[in-house]
Structure formats: structure tokens, C-alpha cells
Amino acid sequence: MTLSLDIRHRLGDFRLDARFETGGGLVALFGRSGAGKTSLVNIIAGLIRPDEGRVGIDDAVLVDTSRGVFVPRHKRRIGYVFQEGRLFPHLTVRQNLVYGRWFTPQGSRCDDSLDKVVELLGIGGLLERRPGRLSGGEKQRVAIGRALLADPRLLLMDEPLASLDEARKAEILPYIERLRDQARVPIVYVSHSIAEVARLATTIVLLSEGKVAAVGPAAEVMHRLDLFPLTGRAEAGAIIEAEVVGHDERFGLTELRSRAGVWRLPRLDADVGARMRLRVRARDVMIAKSAPSDLSALNVLPGVVADIAAREGPIVEVRLDCGGEALVARVTRYSAERLGLAPGVPVYALIKSVALDRRSLSGPLQGSVGGEASDA
Amino acid sequence: MEWMTLSPEEWTAVRLSLKVAVVATLVSLPFGIAIAMALARGRFWGHTLLNGLVLMPLILPPVVTGYLLLILFGRKGPIGAFLADTFGIVFSFRWTGAALACGVMGFPLLVRAIRLSIEAVDTRLEEAAGTLGANRAWVFATVTLPLMLPGIIAGMILCFAKAMGEFGATITFVSNIPGETQTLPSAIYTFTQVPGGDAGAMRLTLVSIAISMLALTASEVMARLANRRLDVE
């Protein structure tokens, strides 16, 4: 799937001027509140008619103002999961789920898909209830199911977790991962949470004040130092793709291997061979010039300094190249000078195992992942 | 209990009143929904004018409304003549005229109740239905209409009750012809104008009270059912 968008739109004082093109998987529209994320998905869904521009999915043109093309929302086959669910209160969960089917062409719908989606989202026990009696997390899962069953060619999710507490978020995130990996429907996911984006995104579109600041594979956009002011300094960091290689039962540790080296984390409920994504925040990474001994931090990864962000203030961000994988460290300018950090200098990155943000750990659908240990 | 038995003439008045009220309510319903929809959602020139026109019968003396109907819908009136010649629908001195008068008098109540319920419908639910593939007609039929049902029921009950009690406009427009245009209130009025009519007036009054109570109870029950369907917590 290719989603291409090039639009200009005015909403009061706010100007949206965005242009990007992305492939399949999960595209995260990421940016601060008021960056224009929701307006952008509303334009894709057909809820807003842009002043000027073009929107297309593969060969299908949805909007082209220069040719007067505007496909109405009900003909776009774009599923939309809203922030507030928007379930129909007068219908049961089952009727909500099959609502879109009435309008799907007979040929393209398969009858076992209801069971599949119900199973995928774990909502089997709710079918005869009415939305008024569901919890926030249940409502959102039903809303996802309802959008999926309309057989969309693209699924839009506008901060589907924003109205939920941490426990409910942890409950739903694995389902969204499953969706991304199993349902084979491309997803555009709007979020201002870096933890969600780091965990879910294949591609990131970074929005700032109505403009596209960056587009690219998740890991690349996440460790670009120049974007840190936009992604949020305190939470910014790198994304590491790693594979589970073993468990240390005696100490309750899990060992993962990435291109940067071996990582040890408190025991994860994941099988050997499972692929995981770690978010390593810049503020959790220390830098040493020589390989330290007698150290409590378990993760010591050799690398070289690739880049240092030039900016004012007492703190600088340093991007490291560890075996072809990027890590970012946030250190004081004082330390950077004292260690003589400059591009090409060999260093060691030190990361405390317990500092790794468990909430952003993605992987197989299992209870303990993203569960108890919060870093806050 | 001999005096409680209705005479054939009184039965005729009761039946006629029910027929007139039911027809008036059902025929005005689609127009009421359409105009309530336009007033609640539409932005067009003449919005305020239309609103005023619909509410007018509520404020005007009923006799004035009846007289205006006589001028417009009478055998020689511009609309009345057109309808009689084209569709063969005659209003003057017929029960259909009584139904028209009752419908016009009940219309403001019907429209107001429905309009309020439309304004309470969350348009974001309609957007959601649109993204699921429903065109505007389907969105209206499957989302908007069910959600405004409590308002429609309330409006219909109000309109029906108004129609059952309508007197001034009806008697001005179609007079008081037994068996054709003599509705319950007209019949009661006639009884009070003749010597020895007290018993008849009392019987019809009791019937009137009974019908009103029934309508009110029915509206309560239906409103509760509609709310339970929405699962309001």
C-alpha cells in the first residue's frame, strides 16, 4: 500500500501544509497536541474537505482539488477508530461490529471474519452487551473490530488510547501489535506518546505546527538529533530491534541480541527467537571512554561517536554507532568536553537494565509485557 | 349506570375525534421530521422565517388559524381549489378539513419535540457510520432516526393530544356537522348549548379524560423503553 498526501488547508488561524508518501505497516503520525494530526486523518477519512491538494491510496485518487475529485467518506473504505470510540449506543456490540458489513459488497466479505476479529480482539464475551455497559478498554477494542469488519483498505486510529489509563493502555497495545502483524491492513496511527510510537511504528511521520518535519523508518526518525526538540527531549531515544537468545533463570534475566551487542533485561515472558523492540531513552545512556570494570550496569556496548548535536545549554545529545545500530546518549556539555567526545572517537555505552522502558517493549502477546514495572 | 352508556351520536363523535387525531398526527409526522431536520441542521436563507411560520399556530388565536385555513384551503381558496381540481382532495366541511386544522395546530408541538431530539443526537456518531460505508440515507435510517426516537414519540403524543382537544380552528374552518366534522370538543360544546345536555357533556368529558390519561401513560412507557434501549446509565 502507498498512501500519498499533499494538501493545504486552513482552519481558522491554523495552517496545515503537509506532504508525504508512506508504505505499508503502521505509519505513526506523531507530534505535539495541536500539530494538525487529527485534521490530517480527518482529511484522509473524508470528514474534512481540504482547501487544496491531493490524497491517494495506491492508484485510487480520493481527493484532487485541481480536478474536482472528492470521494465521499462512505465510498472510501477507510476504517476509522476514533479517540472516543463512537460506538452506536442503540445497538449491541455484535450489531456494532457487523454494522459496516451491510455496506460491504457481498463478494468481498468472508463469513468467518467476524469470529476471527472477535478472537483477535478478545471480545467474545461482550457480543450481546450494549456499549453503555463496557469499560473504556473494551469500547476501544470493539471500535477497532467494527472498523476492521467493514473490510477497509486502510485503518486510521486517532489516539485510540488517549482516554485510557496506563493499565488499559497496556491491555490494548498488544492487540494493536497483533493487528499490525497479522491483519495485513495498513494502519495510520495518530499519537503524541513517544512510548506508543516507539513500540508500534514501522514508519514515522513527524508533524510540527501543521507541517511535516520528517518522514522515515521509525528507528531513523527516532535517533535523529535535530528532531529531538520536536520528539520531546526528555523522552527521546533510540529504537533497537533485538532477538531473544536465552533466559537466565537463576537471576531472572533475559538475554537479547541486537546488532549493537548483547542486552540483559529483567526476565521477559518471551520465547527464545522472539523479536522485540527496545526503546532506549537518551537520558538512560552513559558514555565511558574505556571498558569499565566493577560496574553494576549490565549492558556495556562498544561503539564510536557518530554525531553531536550542536546546541546551547548545559546538555548535549550524542549519537553513537554501535555495530551499525544507533544509540543516543544525553550527557552534560561538561562531560562531553572532558571526555573529548567528537565524531569517530571510540566509546562504550552503558545502560542500566532496570532503566529500559518496559512499557515500550513490544513483542509477542503476553501478560507480563508492559505490565507491572513502570519507569516513572 | 344507565347514564354512563354513550348514545350512537356520542360514539360517532368519539370515533371521529380519534380518526381525525390519528390521521392528523400520522400525516404531519413525515413533514414534521423533515422540517425539524431542516431547522436543527440546515443553514439556509429564511431559516428564522420558517421557524416563525411553524410556531405561528401556537401563538395565534385558534379562530384566526381556522379563518386563515378557510381562506387558503376553502373550496374557492387558492390551495383548496388546486387540491380539489388536481387530486380531488376536498377540505371544506369534511372530516379531512378537521384533520388538517388539528394537524396544523399540533404541528408546532410535533416539530419542537423532534427538533430538540435531533439537536441531542451526536453528529460524531453519524460521521462514524459514514466511515463504515453508510451513505447519508442509511446514516439517517440506522443512526439518526433510532437516536431521535424518544423525541419523535414525545412529539407524536403531544400532537395527538392537541388534535384531540382542538376546537377553535376546527369549528371555524369546517363548522360543527354531526357525523362529519363534529369532534369530541365540538360535541361537548353543543351539549352545553342545549337544555338537558349536561349528562351527555359529562359522559364525553369522562371519555376525554380517559383518552388523555391513556395517551400520557403510553408516552411514558414508550419513552422508558426507548431510553432502556439506549442503555442510559
ipTM: 0.81
Q: What radius of gyration, in Å, describes the C-alpha atoms of chain A? A: 22
Touching B: A residues 96-135, CB under 8 Å: 99-100, 102-104, 130-133
CB contact under 8 A, A47 and B127: yes
pLDDT for A84-124, tens place per residue?
889 999 999 999 999 988 887 665 555 568 888 888 888 88
Touching B: A residues 34-93, CB under 8 Å: 45-47, 72-80, 82, 84, 86, 88-90
CB contact under 8 A, B131 and A103: no
pLDDT for A303-341, tens place per residue?
999 988 877 788 888 999 998 888 999 899 899 889 988
List chain B residues with CB under 8 Å of A104.
133
Cell 573529548 found at: A340
Per-residue pLDDT of chain A (376 residues; tens, 9 = 90+): 889 999 999 988 899 999 999 888 899 999 888 888 999 999 999 999 999 999 999 888 999 999 999 999 999 999 999 988 899 999 999 999 999 888 876 655 555 688 888 888 888 889 999 898 888 889 999 999 999 888 888 999 999 888 788 878 887 888 888 888 877 788 999 998 888 888 888 899 999 888 998 888 888 888 777 777 777 777 778 888 888 898 988 988 888 999 888 898 888 878 888 888 888 888 889 999 888 888 888 889 999 999 888 777 888 889 999 988 889 998 998 998 899 888 999 999 999 887 776 665 665 433 333 333 333 3
Fold classification of A237-360 is: OB fold (Dihydrolipoamide Acetyltransferase, E2P) (2.40.50)
**One-character DSSP codes across A176-216:** HHHIIIII---EEEEES-HHHHHHH-SEEEEEETTEEEEEE
Domain segments of chain A as ranges: 3-222, 237-360
Mutate one of B121, B132, B231 to test the A interface: name it (highest A CB count within 10 A). B132
Touching A: B residues 131-160, CB under 8 Å: 131-135, 138-139, 142-143, 146-147
pTM score: 0.80
What angle, rounded to 10 degrees, do the helices at B198-230 and B184-193 form?
Answer: 160
Helix (H) or strand (E) holding A275: strand A275-281
Give the one of A86, A90, A150 whose C-beta lies nearest to B230's C-beta.
A90
Report the chain B residue with the minimal C-alpha distance to residue A43.
B131
The cell numbers describing A335, all together, are 562531560
- For chains A and B, CB pairs below 8 A equal 76
CB contact under 8 A, B231 and A78: no
Cβ atoms of B201 and B6 within 8 Å: the answer is: no
Nearest to B166 by CA among B189, B149, B198, B143: B189
Nearest to A172 by CA among A87, A112, A239, A83: A83
User: Which residues, 6+ apart, have CB-to-CB distance to B52 below 8 Å?
Assistant: none
Which residue intervals of chain A are DSSP H helices?
37-45, 93-98, 113-121, 136-149, 166-178, 194-200, 218-222, 228-231, 333-338
Residue B198: half-sphere exposure toward Cβ, Cα within 13 Å: 2
Helix (H) or strand (E) holding B49: helix B47-59
Report the chain A residue with the minimal C-alpha distance to residue B143.
A88
Q: For the domain B2-230, what is the CATH superfamily, name and number? A: MetI-like (1.10.3720.10)
Report the chain A residue with the minimal C-alpha distance to residue B139.
A74
Q: For the domain A3-222, what is the CATH superfamily, name and number? A: P-loop containing nucleotide triphosphate hydrolases (3.40.50.300)
